[in-house]
Structure 1
Amino acid sequence: MGIDPQIAERGTGHGSGLGVIRWVVERTIAWYHGMRRLRIRWERRDDIHEAFLGLATCIICYRHIKTLC
């Protein structure tokens, strides 16, 4: 079909612009998984799970701001 893969080696740029800020998302998900309650979803109700996600986001932001000051 004329489609060539564009997978770059580690540490080298690939020039397509894709995946430039992917590490931010992966890091944030790793921070969420640091919270034991969010690692495995135990809550059956999604409103409770969403509340814990919001709380975890507040904690992550607080820790990040605390390290900057």
Structure 2
Amino acid sequence: MNIPSPYLTIEAFSQHSGLSKSTIRDMIADGRLPVRGKSADMKRGKVLINLLALYTDASKGCDVSLNA
């Protein structure tokens, strides 16, 4: 399995998944999409969706191992 990048912006994830930006924001708000945490001084920074966490979660229950 090749993960192109560990994180994607909302815009890039929208292009990658075909989901609208508003749907993605809703999924982030209700916890269906994991995002990179921000420190207190980065509150206005870009939201980054954690693809590695998504791939890891998707692989649970399958006979798949993730190696570096």
- Is the TM-score greater than 0.5? no
Q: Which has the higher strand share?
A: 2
Give the structure-2-normalised TM-score.
Answer: 0.29
Q: Which has the higher helix share?
A: 1
Higher relative contact order, chain-length normalized (CA < 8 Å, sep 6+): 2
Give the structure-1-normalised TM-score.
Answer: 0.29
